[in-house]
Structure 1
Amino acid sequence: MSGFESLSWDDFRLIRAVAEAGTLPAAAERLGTAHSTVFRRLKGIEAALGCALFERNKARLEPTQAGAEIAALAARMGEEVDAVALRLAGREPLPSGEVRVTTNDSLLVHLLTPIFASFLAACPSVRLDIVLGNPALNLSKRDADVAIRATDNPPPNLVGRKAARIAWALYGPAEDTRGPRRWVTLGEAMSPMKVVRHVLNEAGPEGVGYRVNSVLGMAEALEAGLGVGYLPCFVADARPALRRLDAPDERFATDLWLLTHADLRQVPRVRALMDHLAEEIARARPLIEGARGRDKAGQAG
């Protein structure tokens, strides 16, 4: 029998507790045992496996790659054990634990935060860890559990659902400055986007007066009167200081996807969050898809 096959359920629980707590005393408190017992058992497990599961980083114990994999397995095993116990008791398991979500700042500020709030009110035993950034994190390596992304080409190794189609339209300040019409657009890192390429071609080398690598930064620039530019309708239509100058342009629309790894889609807390997001985003679809807004005359669009 290999060292791994000899591990008991209590061994898995101990590894998970150390990984989550970060110190042996804190893990011992979770397990209801002595610090010395946790130390002795952990050393025995590592000896049986023939590899270190944790390494010290200042005051904390950080899992090695092997430790992280076994701790993740222990967490999944714990969820399954809890779910079976609840089903045997005639009750459905309530979602609990942490879900790490990656998205971008404009989606978080203008769409997702109230949805996350209502989800946590309905599932108080779940904790959300939100990671902002435009590049998608690697869900296969568990950098995140759920990704909420604007993309027409979701990674083939992920599963999920298309929640809406994000409309983009041309906007400027609500108060017409009557000044020269200069363009505002996204920064160099986002140049591959169709909408950015269009503006650069339309404006020419001297026509872009301001670039920023953030949709929210663009919205602030347009409100400040720095020029005109394309924004997602759900961002711009929520800002009274902006007005829509033209109808949404389908060339620049992108799909909004809710994505997770295939191994996680049936985890109760992940499934509950994905279902809640899909339901609430469906309610906001008219705003996301540009059905509501202001046209040139300031009337409902």
Structure 2
Amino acid sequence: MTTSQLAWDDFRLVKTIAEARGLTGAAAALGVNHSTAFRRLGQLESALGVKLFDRHRTGYVLTTAGEEMCAIAERMDEDINGFARKIAGQDIAPAGELRVTTSDSLLVHLLIPIFADFRERYPEIRLDLVLSNQALNLSKRDADVAIRATDSPPETLVGRRLATINWAFYGRRSDFPDPHVPDLVTLYDRDWVSLGDNLSGLKVAKFVRDHVAPEKVAAKLSTVLGLAEAIEAGIGIGAIPCVIGDPHPGLRRLSDIRPEFSASLWLLTHPDLRRSARVRVFLDFVAGEIGSRRALIEG
């Protein structure tokens, strides 16, 4: 191979190795084995006559030449994804695959029946649901639509704010037969369930850290999904979204809405995709269905 024969796959190889900081992760991402990735990198460096990576204990680090090649790969990737988005945004009929990302708790406690009704209305649209508690990159087509609880949606996306997800404190109904709301201070000596360290930045997690002794936190979960079930099982009391807690027959609300824990529910897409027929009908349908459930979501 000569430098005049460089192809997109060569640039993608360098970019993927840089992102993975090594051959093992890059090979997995590219769908090849380790020896193939090693051989391709060696051939590329030999053809260019320069090293693209320095090999360290901590992983592969880009050289100056590698950084330049990686920067070109980023621009190429952006151009390719931009073209793909524009083509996807030109479809006429609402049909084909629609990739939707949301959190596991929103899917289970709110969205499944909405998606079922959507499929009944638009059977030609197939849903590819990506469950992640982290924001995916819609610019790179990791997803076409995102349904997220956030107060800071990315400026690169367009969408609609649908509702406020409000939270309150809940306990097992059998432990609190009296519907009278107790004084919150009296609850701090009880066992609690809370969010895990991966979600420690959320205000609700900080509240528990500030008010409940560590030995009273009986369990921590790395996702909102499962909090209601842990409370109903008697592991402890805790804060959960009202859309989860209020319909739950085994739970009793122990406080008024805690507005400091609330977050906005957003329906987001990339500007290049909002004119796509399948994206447009999905946005309109989901917005309408969530709107009809707004009172439940806001507690």
Letter in 1 for 2:114: I
2:218 alignment partner, SS class: strand
1:216 Cα offset (Å)? 1.9
1:270 Cα offset (Å)? 0.8
Mapping for residues 14-25 of structure 1, pairs under 5 Å = none
CA distance in 2, matches of 1:103, 1:194: 20
Verify the 8 A CA contact 1:52 1:67 in the aligned structure 2. Answer: no
What TM-score do you get using the length of structure 2 for normalisation? 0.69
User: What corresponds to 1:236 in structure 2?
Assistant: 245
CA distance in 2, matches of 1:198, 1:67: 42
User: What corresponds to 2:169 in structure 1?
Assistant: 170
Q: Is 1:226 aligned to residue 235 of structure 2?
A: yes
Verify the 8 A CA contact 1:149 1:257 in the aligned structure 2. Answer: yes
285, 288, 300: which one pairs with 2:297?
288
Q: How many residues of Structure 1 are paired with residues of Structure 2 in the alignment? A: 228
User: What corresponds to 1:106 in structure 2?
Assistant: 105
User: What corresponds to 1:124 in structure 2?
Assistant: 123
Q: Is 1:214 aligned to residue 198 of structure 2?
A: no
Q: Is 1:263 aligned to residue 272 of structure 2?
A: yes
User: What corresponds to 1:37 in structure 2?
Assistant: none
What TM-score do you get using the length of structure 1 for normalisation? 0.68
CA distance in 1, matches of 2:206, 2:88: 49
CA distance in 2, matches of 1:134, 1:74: 25
Mapping for residues 193-204 of structure 1, pairs under 5 Å = 193-204=202-213
Structure 1 window deviating more from structure 2 (126-135 vs 49-58): it is: 49-58
1:192 alignment partner, SS class: coil
Verify the 8 A CA contact 1:173 1:224 in the aligned structure 2. Answer: yes
Verify the 8 A CA contact 2:100 2:146 in the aligned structure 1. Answer: yes
CA distance in 2, matches of 1:71, 1:155: 18
Verify the 8 A CA contact 1:169 1:232 in the aligned structure 2. Answer: yes
1:100 Cα offset (Å)? 0.8
Verify the 8 A CA contact 1:170 1:231 in the aligned structure 2. Answer: yes
Summarize the Cα distance change of 1:122–1:226 in structure 2 as closer, same or farther, 3 Å threshold: same
Summarize the Cα distance change of 1:273–1:210 in structure 2 as closer, same or farther, 3 Å threshold: same
Letter in 1 for 2:245: A
2:113 alignment partner, SS class: helix
Gaps of 5+ in 1: 1-48, 59-63, 84-92, 291-301
Q: Is 1:51 aligned to residue 7 of structure 2?
A: yes
Summarize the Cα distance change of 1:77–1:206 in structure 2 as closer, same or farther, 3 Å threshold: closer
Gaps of 5+ in 2: 14-29, 33-72, 178-186
1:204 Cα offset (Å)? 2.5
Deviations 1:24-61 (A, max 9, x none): xxxxxxxxxxxxxxxxxxxxxxxxx9735799957xxx
User: What corresponds to 1:142 in structure 2?
Assistant: 141
2:97 alignment partner, SS class: strand
* RMSD of aligned residue pairs (Cα, Å): 2.9
1:206 alignment partner, SS class: helix
1:68 Cα offset (Å)? 10
User: What corresponds to 1:183 in structure 2?
Assistant: 192
Summarize the Cα distance change of 1:205–1:152 in structure 2 as closer, same or farther, 3 Å threshold: same
Letter in 2 for 1:201: D
Mapping for residues 63-82 of structure 1, pairs under 5 Å = 73=83, 76-77=86-87, 80=90
Letter in 2 for 1:124: P
Letter in 2 for 1:261: H
Structure scoring higher RCO (CA < 8 A, sep ≥ 6) equals: 2
Summarize the Cα distance change of 1:100–1:186 in structure 2 as closer, same or farther, 3 Å threshold: same
Identity over aligned residues, as a percent?
50
Letter in 1 for 2:256: A
